[in-house]
Structure 1
Amino acid sequence: MPQRQIVIHRSSRQLELHEGNKVIARYPIAIGKSNTPTPTGTYSVASKYINPGGVFGSRWLGLSIPHYGIHGTSNPASIGTSASKGCIRMHNNHVEALYQQVGVGTPVIIKP
């Protein structure tokens, strides 16, 4: 089975789920504010939590860079903007779908 990976495009505020060379899902996201930017680079999913509480919405996918993750939101109007402290925000129903399709160790590539 082809390996899955998450590719985040900060410039277009899109998250793509790839399986091999094929995009199998695409979601709108919010990224970090200018003073707390989302870091570029190659990371991996390091942890997964259901209902992490607070502003993190219904799911948390922690990245291998400490204090950063892909998560839901209690503020859906922020999706499509630069609003976070560096994390990747998604609509709760989107992060729930993504959560089901990736595991710990899934590569996460964050592009400019």
Structure 2
Amino acid sequence: MPASSIVIYTSRRQLELYEGNRLIKRYPIAVGKRATPTPHGRYYIASKTFHPGGVFGSRWMGLSLPSYGIHGTNNPSSIGQAISKGCIRMHNHDVEALFQHVAIGTPVTIQS
């Protein structure tokens, strides 16, 4: 099975899931606001947590950059906006699907 990877486009507010070179799914996201932008670079999924609670929604996938992650939200109307403190927010049903598909170590590229 080809390895999974994630590419995040902050300007388009989209997260793309790949298996090898094949696009599997595209998800709408929220990204960091101007004062606390989502950092661009190459990272990986370092941790996974079920039901982190509160503003993190139903799932948390921590990045190799400490204090940043891909997570659900308790504010679904924020998806599509630049509103977070730098994390990548997803609808809870989307982050639950992504959570099942990726493993710790999955590469994550964040670009504009």
Q: Normalised by the size of structure 2, how large is the TM-score?
A: 0.99
- Counterpart-to-counterpart distance in 2, 1:15 and 1:100: 15
Matches within 5 A, 1:34-53: 34-53=34-53
Q: CA deviation at 1:54?
A: 1.3
What runs of 5+ residues in structure 2 fail to find an aligned partner?
none
- Counterpart-to-counterpart distance in 1, 2:7 and 2:100: 16
Q: CA deviation at 1:17?
A: 0.3
- Counterpart-to-counterpart distance in 2, 1:11 and 1:83: 13
Report the counterpart of residue 5 of structure 1 in structure 2: 5
Aligned length: 112
Report the counterpart of residue 57 of structure 1 in structure 2: 57
- Counterpart-to-counterpart distance in 2, 1:68 and 1:18: 21
Q: Which amino acid aligns with 1:56?
A: F
**Residue 22 of structure 2 is aligned to residue 22 of structure 1:** yes
Report the counterpart of residue 82 of structure 1 in structure 2: 82
- Counterpart-to-counterpart distance in 2, 1:106 and 1:20: 12
Q: Which amino acid aligns with 1:97?
A: A
Q: Which amino acid aligns with 2:29?
A: I
- Counterpart-to-counterpart distance in 1, 2:3 and 2:94: 20
Q: Which amino acid aligns with 2:90?
A: M
- Provide the alpha-carbon RMSD of the alignment: 0.4
Which aligned runs of 4 or more in structure 1 are off by greater than 6 angstroms? none
3-state SS, counterpart of residue 27 of structure 1: strand
What runs of 5+ residues in structure 1 fail to find an aligned partner?
none
User: Deviation string for 1:43-70 (max 9, x for gaps)?
Assistant: 0000000000110000000000000000
3-state SS, counterpart of residue 104 of structure 1: coil
Report the counterpart of residue 66 of structure 2 in structure 1: 66
